[in-house]
């Protein structure tokens, strides 16, 4: 008796789960393009995911307001974990997604792009910058620079402008993005004859205190500190360096963008910080101004580079869909093949670069811009002197 | 059936239930009746069932607290990925390669489990919890230092403790490929895990653990849990039996990790952090300590819950937490238990047996 009850209750539970989960797939098709978004909307990386998805949403609203092609945008949370990201991707597939803007962070993006490659769904990531994201996948494109690009560009810039600098590197060695840039920077710096006097590392668990690394960099006599990291830990480094009276030139990459808006951080400490970034919220052009104003209205903060990448991603998709002559009643697979055909041929002006073009491998080509922070705004290095 | 012991009946019911659930899901998947969302969750659910059942052996049956179960999963996952990726040329058949990878993953975790267990299980008290907690953290940092590549000369492994080395230091040939790139984790993994493989792994785990528990060894392990001094006084070797439970549990976690790792295109060590260990512990505790089929059901429900709650968007983890608390309150409610006891007359007598 007891047996049978157990078996029955087990089956009942399974059926209940099934009933709970089987959301009806395939809604009405034909009117709008169904664009999916995947990024960390909660968890430790949520600031990046939310920024990218908010930026994309603004672009969708603008595109829909233009009339003509209509987009429906569905952003799903992946908490920055590969497994959850694949789950998010699968639930977007059930929704009937036709193209995806995502994934925001690198490691999940590699997993999801492998799935999307076998399912033939077009993906455009705003910010997953590793070369592994696009490797061997013809339907995967990037809006941001690849890590090697940033590392090499940073080393080249230093070699050109500060050939005698004593360089210290502080990077996060459990993060694909940071490690990737550091590796290419180190090898390019070596071939350009730059002197690296100190390398310090930290991890997710130790990113609240940098007194050891900062003191070691100072002791090694570094007058240039390269920080291929995101802006939150960078703000701690700047504060702690200031506390011990250490004043080298800090040099960041695109993850440094946003440092001026960190809560509780004295923005005056960021004076003189140099960074390579494709986007500046203070740019004078009308499009950036409008975007920053719209973002401020909707979300109450100044957009960072991730928001701009998300915004651009949506416009790139828009341009490519129009160029390929896709219509919303096409299947995701047909759209994918059509977009793969046109991506290497189009050129898009966006917030993060004028005349962006793509190679067939999925890598973007746009000019990185070195800026320096002066009086709380980004200016070109020449203007700061 | 009448002559069978109650425990044997429960075991067979567990096997039958799992097999039935597998057959139903597999038929639905084959017939294309499952949503992509559920299809995609089948393999990780199998992995976490194995994780929960094996952790139950340590926490529920042997009565020790382990807080680093995800560490063994991590060892197994990266061991399995290295095996599967480097043998891609030697063993073209994917299912065979998967089996080899699972065995390698289990072996790696066994060795590590043994090394961790030998000194700690000689001690009394909560030392296992402390050491496994530290182990979970250490293994994460060690794998972040690991650079592994493969070419025609075999495996190249560099241990990047100083943080100054990169994948170029492996000196791979042109045709070689990097398998693990330190903090960037394993990338470009060929996905060979499948739902039937997951089911077979779950069944193997169940057979091993249920038989162990019902055997003389299992009774010894439980005797040590219930009264250490009494067990010692009848001549049981405490360390040996505790170590046995711990190492078997680690091996199962390693196999689960290998299956998990080979189900995704990329894997980073930080996936197997403290939170993952605690998540598995939550499955075990909510399913009931020492209750194997309870662990299975708790895992399935709790794994699917966050995905099923996607319509709550940002609030889904909040809802998830509330449901967890409600489940704990409800399952511990004396009145509700009494009510259930009235509804199901067998419940009372069964309560003493589990």
C-alpha span between A36 and B36 (Å, rounded): 15
A18 HSE (CA, 13 A, CB side): 14
Please choose, from the candidates B153, B157, B132, B128, the residue with its C-alpha nearest in 3D space to the C-alpha of residue B73: B132
State the total domains in chain B. 1
- Residue A269 is predicted with a pLDDT of 87
Q: Is residue B172 part of a domain?
A: yes
Cβ of A130 within 8 Å of Cβ of B184? The answer is yes
**Least Cα separation, residue B128 to chain A (angstroms):** 22
Please choose, from the candidates A314, A379, A368, the residue with its C-alpha nearest in 3D space to the C-alpha of residue A157: A368
**Is it the case that residue B243 has pLDDT exceeding 70?**
yes
Residues A252/A273, Cβ–Cβ less than 8 Å: yes
Q: Is residue B142 part of a domain?
A: yes
Q: Is A183 on the interface with B (CB under 8 A)?
A: yes
Q: How confident is the model over A159-218, as pLDDT tens digits?
A: 988 888 899 999 988 777 888 888 889 889 989 989 999 998 888 878 889 999 999 999
Residues B67/B129, Cβ–Cβ less than 8 Å: yes
The strands making up B154-159's β-sheet, listed across from edge to edge, are B154-159, B146-151, B177-181
Cβ of A10 within 8 Å of Cβ of B185? The answer is no
Runs of H (alpha helix) within chain B? 6-30, 36-56, 69-86, 94-120, 127-144, 195-214, 216-226, 228-233, 238-261, 274-287, 292-308, 316-331, 334-343, 346-351
Chosen for mutation from B34, B183, B294 (greatest number of chain A CBs closer than 10 Å) is B183
Q: Is B308 on the interface with A (CB under 8 A)?
A: yes
The strands making up A122-125's β-sheet, listed across from edge to edge, are A71-77, A33-39, A99-102, A122-125, A140-142
Say which of A42, A82, A136 has its CB closest to residue B271: A82
Q: Is residue B94 part of a domain?
A: yes
What CATH code would you report for A33-145+287-367? 3.40.50.2300
Q: Is residue B317 part of a domain?
A: no
Cβ of A199 within 8 Å of Cβ of B164? The answer is yes
Packing angle of the helix pair A332-342, A305-324 (nearest 10 deg): 100
Judge whether A33-145+287-367 and A148-277 match in fold. Answer: yes
Residues B265/B161, Cβ–Cβ less than 8 Å: no
Runs of H (alpha helix) within B159-215? 195-214
Please choose, from the candidates B2, B89, B38, the residue with its C-alpha nearest in 3D space to the C-alpha of residue B304: B38
- Residue B52 is predicted with a pLDDT of 97
Please choose, from the candidates B26, B23, B50, B20, the residue with its C-alpha nearest in 3D space to the C-alpha of residue B38: B26
Mean pLDDT, residues A328-346: 92
- Residue B346 is predicted with a pLDDT of 57
Tokens read off for B223: 């005797």
* CA dihedral (B163, B164, B168, B172) positive or negative: negative
Of A56-65, A376-385, B109-118, B231-240, minimum mean pLDDT range: A376-385
Tokens read off for A50: 């939310």
- Residue A23 is predicted with a pLDDT of 38
Q: Is A228 on the interface with B (CB under 8 A)?
A: no
Q: Is A195 on the interface with B (CB under 8 A)?
A: no
Which pLDDT band, with edges at 50, 70 and 90, does A14 fall under?
Answer: low
**Residue of chain B with shortest Cα separation from A87:** B37
C-alpha span between B220 and B228 (Å, rounded): 10
- Residue A132 is predicted with a pLDDT of 85
Query: In this structure, how many other beta carbons lie within 10 angstroms of the beta carbon of residue A301?
Result: 16
Q: How confident is the model over A31-66, as pLDDT tens digits?
A: 799 999 999 998 878 888 999 999 999 999 999 998
- What is the separation of C-alpha A114 from the centre of its chain, rounded to a whole number of angstroms? 18
- Residue A279 is predicted with a pLDDT of 82
Which pLDDT band, with edges at 50, 70 and 90, does A20 fall under?
Answer: very low
- Residue B125 is predicted with a pLDDT of 80
Mean pLDDT, residues A85-109: 91
- Residue A44 is predicted with a pLDDT of 76
A144: left (phi over 0), alpha (psi -120 to 50) or beta: beta
**Is it the case that residue A21 has pLDDT exceeding 60?**
no
Tokens read off for A333: 């697979």
**Is it the case that residue A16 has pLDDT exceeding 60?**
no
Which pLDDT band, with edges at 50, 70 and 90, does A315 fall under?
Answer: very high
- Residue A343 is predicted with a pLDDT of 92
Q: How confident is the model over B199-221, as pLDDT tens digits?
A: 999 999 999 999 999 999 999 99
Q: Is residue B315 part of a domain?
A: no
Residues, chain A, total? 385
How far is the CA of B277 from the CAs of B10, B52, B270, in angstroms? 28, 10, 12
Tokens read off for A308: 């701009």
Q: How confident is the model over B331-347, as pLDDT tens digits?
A: 777 777 777 777 765 54
Tokens read off for B91: 């063993």
Mean pLDDT, residues A93-104: 91
Bigger pLDDT: A30 vs B163: B163
- Residue A173 is predicted with a pLDDT of 80
Q: Measured between beta carbons, which residues in chain B are less than 8 angstroms from residue A204?
A: 270
Chosen for mutation from A53, A76, A85, A110 (greatest number of chain B CBs closer than 10 Å) is A110
Which pLDDT band, with edges at 50, 70 and 90, does B348 fall under?
Answer: very low
**Least Cα separation, residue A88 to chain B (angstroms):** 8
C-alpha span between A124 and A140 (Å, rounded): 6
| Interior/surface letters A159-189, b for 16+ CB within 10 angstroms, e for the rest | beebeebbbbbbbbbbbbbbbbbbbbbbbbb
% residues pLDDT > 70 (chain A): 91
Q: How many helices (H) and strands (E) does chain B have?
A: 14, 3
Q: How confident is the model over B244-271, as pLDDT tens digits?
A: 999 999 999 999 999 999 999 889 888 8
Cβ of A91 within 8 Å of Cβ of B307? The answer is yes
Q: Is residue B62 part of a domain?
A: yes
End-to-end C-alpha distance for chain B, whole angstroms = 19
Q: Measured between beta carbons, which residues in chain B are less than 8 angstroms from residue A113?
A: 265
Residues B54/B256, Cβ–Cβ less than 8 Å: yes
Q: Where are the domains of chain A?
A: 33-145+287-367, 148-277
Q: Is A205 on the interface with B (CB under 8 A)?
A: yes
Q: Among A320-324, A367-371, B257-261, name the most confident range.
A: B257-261
| Residue A195 bridge partners (DSSP) | A166
Q: How confident is the model over B21-51, as pLDDT tens digits?
A: 999 999 999 988 888 899 999 999 999 999 9
Mean pLDDT, residues B92-97: 92
Chosen for mutation from B165, B266, B295, B347 (greatest number of chain A CBs closer than 10 Å) is B266
Tokens read off for A366: 């746009």
**Least Cα separation, residue B235 to chain A (angstroms):** 37
Tokens read off for B164: 């100054």
- Residue B226 is predicted with a pLDDT of 93
Looking at residue A142, the DSSP 8-state letter turns out to be E
**Is it the case that residue A313 has pLDDT exceeding 90?**
yes
**Is it the case that residue A111 has pLDDT exceeding 60?**
yes
- Residue B80 is predicted with a pLDDT of 96
Q: Measured between beta carbons, which residues in chain B are less than 8 angstroms from residue A23?
A: 35, 37, 311
Q: Measured between beta carbons, which residues in chain B are less than 8 angstroms from residue A151?
A: none
Please choose, from the candidates A263, A353, A259, A351, the residue with its C-alpha nearest in 3D space to the C-alpha of residue A300: A263
**Is it the case that residue A27 has pLDDT exceeding 60?**
no
Mean pLDDT, residues A135-158: 88
Q: Is A187 on the interface with B (CB under 8 A)?
A: yes
Bigger pLDDT: A31 vs A105: A105
Q: How many helices (H) and strands (E) does chain A have?
A: 13, 15
Mean pLDDT, residues B120-142: 90
Which pLDDT band, with edges at 50, 70 and 90, does B354 fall under?
Answer: very low
Single pTM value for the model: 0.85
**Is it the case that residue A29 has pLDDT exceeding 70?**
no
Mean pLDDT, residues A129-152: 87
**Is it the case that residue B167 has pLDDT exceeding 80?**
no
Say which of A88, A110, A174 has its CB closest to residue B266: A110
Which pLDDT band, with edges at 50, 70 and 90, does A12 fall under?
Answer: low
Q: Is A26 on the interface with B (CB under 8 A)?
A: no
Domain spanning A148-277, CATH class:
alpha beta
Residues B76/B143, Cβ–Cβ less than 8 Å: no
Q: Is B99 on the interface with A (CB under 8 A)?
A: no
Cβ of A2 within 8 Å of Cβ of B6? The answer is yes
Q: Measured between beta carbons, which residues in chain B are less than 8 angstroms from residue A81?
A: 271
- Residue B350 is predicted with a pLDDT of 45
Q: φ, ψ for residue A34 (rounded to 5)?
A: -95, 110
- Compute the mean pLDDT over every residue in chain A, rounded to the nearest whole number: 85
Cβ of B36 within 8 Å of Cβ of A90? The answer is yes
Packing angle of the helix pair A82-95, A106-119 (nearest 10 deg): 40
Mean pLDDT, residues A87-110: 91
C-alpha span between A255 and A180 (Å, rounded): 13
Residues, chain B, total? 354
C-alpha span between B27 and A280 (Å, rounded): 54
* CA dihedral (A297, A298, A304, A310) positive or negative: negative
Cβ of B264 within 8 Å of Cβ of A183? The answer is no
Q: Is residue B352 part of a domain?
A: no
């Amino acid at each position: 008796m007891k047996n049978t009850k157990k078996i029955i209750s087990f089956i009942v539970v399974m059926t209940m789960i099934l009933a709970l989960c089987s959301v009806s797939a395939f809604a009405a098709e034909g009117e709008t393009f169904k664009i999916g978004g995947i990024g960390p909307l909660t968890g430790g990386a949520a600031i990046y995911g939310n920024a990218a998805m908010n930026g994309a949403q603004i672009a969708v609203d603008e595109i829909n307001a233009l009339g003509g092609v209509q987009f429906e945008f569905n952003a799903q949370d992946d908490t920055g974990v590969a497994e959850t990201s694949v789950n998010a991707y699968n639930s977007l597939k059930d929704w009937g997604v036709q193209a995806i803007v995502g994934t925001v962070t690198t490691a999940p993006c590699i997993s999801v792009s492998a799935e999307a490659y076998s399912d033939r769904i077009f993906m455009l990531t705003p910010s997953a910058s590793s070369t592994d994201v696009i490797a061997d996948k013809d339907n995967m494109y990037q809006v941001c620079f690849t890590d090697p690009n940033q590392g090499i560009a940073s080393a080249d810039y230093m070699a050109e402008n500060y050939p005698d600098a004593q360089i210290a590197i502080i990077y996060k060695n459990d993060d694909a993005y940071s490690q990737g840039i550091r590796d290419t920077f180190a090898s390019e710096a070596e071939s350009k004859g730059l002197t690296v006097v100190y390398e310090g590392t930290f991890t997710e668990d130790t990113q609240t205190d940098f007194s050891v690394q900062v003191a070691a960099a100072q002791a090694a006599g570094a007058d240039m500190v390269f920080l291929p990291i995101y802006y939150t830990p960078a703000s701690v480094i700047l504060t702690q360096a200031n506390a011990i009276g250490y004043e080298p030139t800090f040099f960041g990459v695109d993850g440094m963008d946003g440092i001026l808006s960190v809560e509780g951080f004295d923005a005056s400490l960021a004076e003189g910080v140099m960074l390579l970034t494709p986007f500046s919220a203070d740019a004078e052009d009308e499009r950036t101004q409008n975007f920053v104003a719209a973002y401020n209205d909707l979300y109450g903060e100044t957009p960072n580079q991730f928001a701009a990448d998300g915004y651009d991603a949506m416009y790139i998709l828009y341009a490519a869909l129009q160029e390929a002559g896709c219509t919303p009643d096409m299947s995701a697979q047909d759209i994918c093949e059509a977009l793969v055909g046109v991506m290497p041929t189009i050129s898009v002006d966006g917030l993060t670069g004028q005349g962006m073009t793509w190679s067939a491998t999925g890598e973007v080509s746009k000019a990185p811009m070195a800026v320096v922070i002066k009086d709380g705004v980004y200016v070109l290095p020449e203007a700061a002197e | 059936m009448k002559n069978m012991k109650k425990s044997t009946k429960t075991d067979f019911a567990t096997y039958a239930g799992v097999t039935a659930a597998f057959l139903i899901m597999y038929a639905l998947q084959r017939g294309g009746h499952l949503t992509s969302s559920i299809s995609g969750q089948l393999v990780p659910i199998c992995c976490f069932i194995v994780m929960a059942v094996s952790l139950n052996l340590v926490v529920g049956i042997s009565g020790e607290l382990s807080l680093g179960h995800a560490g063994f999963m991590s060892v197994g996952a990266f061991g399995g990925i290295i095996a599967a990726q480097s043998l891609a040329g030697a063993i073209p058949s994917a299912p065979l390669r998967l089996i080899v990878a699972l065995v390698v993953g289990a072996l790696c975790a066994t060795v590590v489990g043994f090394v961790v267990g030998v000194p700690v299980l000689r001690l009394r008290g909560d030392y296992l919890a402390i050491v496994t907690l530290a182990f979970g953290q250490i293994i994460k940092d060690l794998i972040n230092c690991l650079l592994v590549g493969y070419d025609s000369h075999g495996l190249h492994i560099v241990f990047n403790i100083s943080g100054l080395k990169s994948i170029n230091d492996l000196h791979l040939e042109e045709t070689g490929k990097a398998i693990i790139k330190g903090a960037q984790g394993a990338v470009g993994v060929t996905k060979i895990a499948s739902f039937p493989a997951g089911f077979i792994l779950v069944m193997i785990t169940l057979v091993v653990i249920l038989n162990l528990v019902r055997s003389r060894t299992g009774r010894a392990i439980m005797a040590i849990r219930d009264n250490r001094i009494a067990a010692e006084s009848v001549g049981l070797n405490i360390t040996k039996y505790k170590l046995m439970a711990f190492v078997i549990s680690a091996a199962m976690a390693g196999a689960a990790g290998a299956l998990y790792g080979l189900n995704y295109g990329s894997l980073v060590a930080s996936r197997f952090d403290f939170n993952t260990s605690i998540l598995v512990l939550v499955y075990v505790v909510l399913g009931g300590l020492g209750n194997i089929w309870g662990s299975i059901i708790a895992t399935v429900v709790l794994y699917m819950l966050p995905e099923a709650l996607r319509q709550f968007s940002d609030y889904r983890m909040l809802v998830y937490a509330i449901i967890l608390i409600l489940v704990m309150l409800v399952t511990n409610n004396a009145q509700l238990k009494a009510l259930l006891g009235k509804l199901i007359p067998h419940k009372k007598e069964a309560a003493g047996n589990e």
